[in-house]
Structure 1
Amino acid sequence: MKKLEKQFWRRYKLLCLVRVLLVFLPQTGYIHPDEYCQSIEILAGDTFDLDSNRPWEFNITFPVRSISIPYFTVGLSYKILKTIDIFVQPWLEKSIITPYVLLVIPRLFICLSSFLCDYCMYHTCVANNEKYKSRLLILSTSYIMLIYGSRTFSNTLEITFFSLLLYFVSESMIFSNVIVKHHEYFKRRYDNSETVVDKAKFHKMSLLLAPHSYRRFYIISTIVVLGFFNRPTFLCYALIPVFFWLYRSIGSKSITPLQFHSRSIVILLAAIPIVACLILIDSFYYGYLTWGEVGMLEVSIENFIVPCFNFIRYNWNEKNLEKHGKHPLYLHFFVNVPLLFNILGIFALFGFGDLLRKLLKRKYHLLPTVRSIKGLMTASMITPLFLLSSFSHQEPRFIIPIIFPLVYLYGHKIYDEPDHSIVETKDVKNDINKFRKVNKKSTIPFKLWLIANAVLAIFYGFIHQGGIYPAYNYLAKEVNVHPNTQYNIFTSHIYSIPYSMLLQPKPDKLFYSRTSKYHKTKRVFLYEEGSKDLEAVLQKINAVSQVLESKRVRNKILYIVPSSLDKNINAIRVNHTQISVKKVTTFYPHLSTEAMPDITDFIHKVAYIDMKSLNFGELLMSLCDIFKSFGLSVYAIDAVS
Structure 2
Amino acid sequence: MVKMDIKLKKYFQSIQIHSKGKYIKTYIFLVVLRVCLVFLPQFGYIHPDEFFQSVEVPTGEEFQLEHTRTWEFNNTMPIRSIVVPYIIYKIPLNLYRLLAMYVRYFIGWDIRTPYMVFIVPRLVMCLISFVNDWSLYETCLEYGLRYDIRLLALASSFVTIVFATRTFSNSIEMALCSLLLYVVANCMVHTNSVIFQREFLDEKYKASKTPVERVKIHKMRSHLPPHTVSKCYIVSTIFVIGLFNRPTFLFFGTPIVFFWMVRGLGTKTISFLDFNYRFFSLLGCGIPVVILFIVVDSMYYGFLTLSDIEYLEFGMNNFVVTPLNFIRYNIDPANTAGHGVHPRYLHLLVNIPLLFNALGVIAIFSAVHMIFRFSQNHYRHLPRAQSVVALMNAAIFVPAAILSLINHQEPRFLLPITFPVIILHAPKLITGFCATNPFDENNRIGHVIYRHLLCTKASADRLLKCWYAVNIVLAAFFGIIHQGGVIQLTQYFQPPNAFSIRPDLSPNVFLITSHLYNIPTAYLFQPSTKTLLINPDNGQKYTRKKQFFLYEYGGLPMDELQQKVKLLLDVNEMRLHHDKRNYKLYLAIPSSLTEDLSIALFRSNHTMVKYQRIKMFYPHLSMEAFPNFFLRHLTEIRTDVFDLDQKCDFYDNRKEIEPYSLNAALRRFSAIVHNFGLVLYRVEVRRKNTFSE
Common fold by TM > 0.5: yes
Matched, 1:291 2:306: yes
For the residue of structure 2 that corresponds to 1:70, the secondary structure is: helix
Give the distance between the partners of 2:526 and 2:75, measured in 1 at CA.
Answer: 23
Q: Deviations over 1:371-430 (max 9, x none)?
A: 21111101111101101101000001000110100001100001359xxxxxxxxxxxxx
Residues in 2 aligned to 1:182 and 1:518: alpha-carbon distance in whole angstroms: 74
Which residue matches 2:146?
131
Q: How does 1:28-67 map to 2 (within 5 A)?
A: 28-67=43-82
What is the match of residue 488 of structure 1?
A: 510
Whole-angstrom distance in 1 between the partners of 2:38 and 2:467: 22
- Identify the residue that residue 614 of structure 1 maps to in structure 2: 660
Aligned to 1:536: 560
| Residue number in structure 1 paired with 2:673 | 627
Q: What is the alpha-carbon distance in structure 2 between the residues aligned to residue 487 and residue 312 of structure 1? A: 40
Equivalent residue, structure 2, for 1:193: 208
Tell me the alpha carbon deviations over residues 69-115 of structure 1, each in whole angstroms, 9 at most, x when there is no partner: 11110112211122122223346767544332222100000110110
Q: Is the 8 A contact 1:479 1:487 kept in 2?
A: no
Which residue type is aligned with residue 366 of structure 1? H
Alignment correspondent of 1:515: 539
Distance in structure 1 (CA, Å) of the matches to 2:330 and 2:685: 46
In structure 2, C-alpha distance between the alignment counterparts of 1:4 and 1:369, rounded to whole Å: 26
Match of 2:267 in 1: 252
Residue of 317, 323, 329 corresponding to 1:308: 323
**8 Å CA contact 2:23, 2:149 repeated in 1:** no
Residue type at the aligned position of 1:473:
Q
SS, match of residue 297 in structure 1: coil
Residue 620 of structure 1: CA displacement? 3.0
After superposition, the Cα gap between the structure-2 partners of 1:57 and 1:95, relative to the gap in structure 1 and judged at 3 Å, is farther
- Structure 2 counterpart of 1:235: 250
Mark the CA change 1:155 to 1:135 in structure 2 (over 3 Å): closer, same or farther: same
Alpha carbons of structure 1 residues 367 and 6: separation in structure 2 relative to 1, 3 Å: closer
After the TM superposition, which of the residue ranges 94-103 and 161-170 deviates more from structure 2? 94-103
Q: Give me the whole-angstrom Cα distance separating, in 1, the residues matched to 2:334 and 2:568.
A: 35
1:368 aligns with 2:383: yes
Residue deviations 1:478-518, cap 9 Å, x none? Answer: 79697421000000001011111111121111111223211
Distance across 2 between alignment mates of 1:590 and 1:318 = 33
- Which residue is equivalent to 1:420? none
Q: Find out whether 1:590 has 2:612 as its counterpart.
A: no
Match of 2:526 among 492, 499, 504: 504
Residue pair 2:240, 2:289 contacting (<8 A) in 1 also: yes
CA distance in 1, matches of 2:497, 2:351: 40
Q: How many Å apart are 1:614 and its aligned residue? A: 3.5
Deviations 1:509-539 (A, max 9, x none): 1111223211110110100011001121121
Deviations for 1:290-338, whole angstroms, at most 9, x for unmatched residues?
Answer: 1122223322221111111000000000100110001100000001011
Q: Which moved more, 1:44-53 or 1:165-174?
A: 44-53
CA–CA separation in structure 2 for the residues paired with 1:523 and 1:95? 25
Contact 1:214 1:263 in 2 (8 A): yes
Q: Which AA in structure 2 matches 1:573?
A: L
Number of matched pairs:
612
Residues 245, 541 of structure 1: CA spacing in aligned structure 2 closer, same or farther, 3 A cutoff? same
Q: Matched residues in 2 for 1:533 and 1:362: separation? A: 58
| Structure 1 counterpart of 2:583 | 555
Instruction: Say if 2:197 is the partner of 1:175.
Output: no
- Native 8 Å contact 1:186 1:206 kept in 2: yes
1:215 alignment counterpart:
230
The root-mean-square deviation of aligned C-alpha atoms, in Å, is 2.1
The answer (yes or no) to whether the contact 1:134–1:416 under 8 Å persists in 2 is no
Equivalent residue number for residue 454 of structure 2? none
**Residue 353 of structure 1: aligned partner:** 368
2:480 is the counterpart of 1:452:
no
Between 1:500-509 and 1:213-222, the stretch displaced more is: 500-509
Distance in 2 (CA, whole Å) between partners of 1:484 and 1:161 is: 46
Counterpart of 2:548 in structure 1 is: 524
- Which of these residues, 140, 156, 165, is aligned with residue 155 of structure 2? 140
Contact 1:98 1:503 in 2 (8 A): no
Q: 1:12: how far off?
A: 1.8
Q: Aligned residue for 1:571?
A: 599
Alignment partner of 1:462 out of 442, 463, 480: 480
1:123, CA displacement in angstroms?
0.9
Q: Residues of 2 paired with 1:383 and 1:41: CA distance?
A: 32
- 1:357 is displaced (CA, Å) by 0.7
CA gap 1:483/1:352 in 2 versus in 1, 3 angstroms: farther
Query: In structure 2, how many angstroms separate the alpha carbons of the residues matched to 1:2 and 1:638?
Result: 72
1:343-391 deviation per Cα after TM superposition (whole angstroms, max 9, x unaligned): 1111111111111111111112211112211111011111011011010
Unmatched segments (≥5 aa) in structure 1: 418-438, 606-611
Q: Does 1:331 align with 2:355?
A: no
Cα deviations by residue, 1:10-69 (Å, 9 ceiling, x for unpaired): 322211111100100001100000001011211111111111111110011110110111
2:427 is paired with a residue of what secondary structure?
A: helix
Structure-2 change in CA distance of 1:6 and 1:172 (3 Å): closer
Question: What are the superposed Cα offsets for residues 581-629 of structure 1, whole Å, 9 maximum, x if unpaired?
Answer: 1111101000000101111348xx9xxxxxx973443233122201111
TM-fit CA distance, 1:570 = 2.6
Q: Which digits, 9 at most, give the CA deviation of each residue in 1:165-201, with x for residues without a partner?
A: 0000000000100100100010011111111111111
Letter matched to residue 566 of structure 1: T
Q: TM-score of the superposition, structure 1-length normalised?
A: 0.92
Aligned residue in 2 for 1:423: none
Report the AA paired with residue 468 of structure 2: L
Which structure 2 segments of 5+ residues have no match?
1-15, 433-456, 633-650, 652-657, 688-693
Match of 1:508, as an amino acid? Answer: K
How far apart are 1:477 and its partner, in Å? Answer: 3.9
- Does residue 86 in structure 1 map to residue 101 in structure 2? yes
Cα separation, 1, equivalents of 2:111 and 2:299: 30
Alignment equivalent of 2:38, drawn from 23, 29, 33: 23
* Conserved 8 A contact 1:138-1:415: no
Per-residue deviation, residues 217-237 of structure 1 (Å, max 9, x unmatched): 000000000000010000100
CA contact 1:241–1:380 (8 Å) conserved in 2: yes
Identity of aligned residues (%): 38
Q: Which residue of 2 aligns with 1:433?
A: none
Give the direction of change, closer, same or farther, for the CA distance of 1:396–1:372 in structure 2 (3 Å limit): same
> 1:400 is matched with which residue?
415
Are the equivalent residues in 1 in contact too, given 2:591–2:676 (CA < 8 A)? yes
Are the structure 2 counterparts of residues 311 and 181 from structure 1 closer, same or farther at C-alpha, using a change threshold of 3 Å?
same
Aligned partner letter, 2:514: S
User: Aligned in 2, Cα 1:221/1:37: closer, same or farther, shift over 3 Å?
Assistant: same
Match for residue 431 of structure 1?
none
Aligned counterparts of 1:357 and 1:30: Cα–Cα separation in 2: 41
Are the counterparts in 1 of residues 201 and 217 from structure 2 also a CA contact under 8 Å? yes
Decide which moves more: 96-105 or 212-221.
96-105
Q: What is the alpha-carbon distance in structure 2 between the residues aligned to residue 638 and residue 441 of structure 1?
A: 62
Match of 2:406 among 391, 396, 401: 391
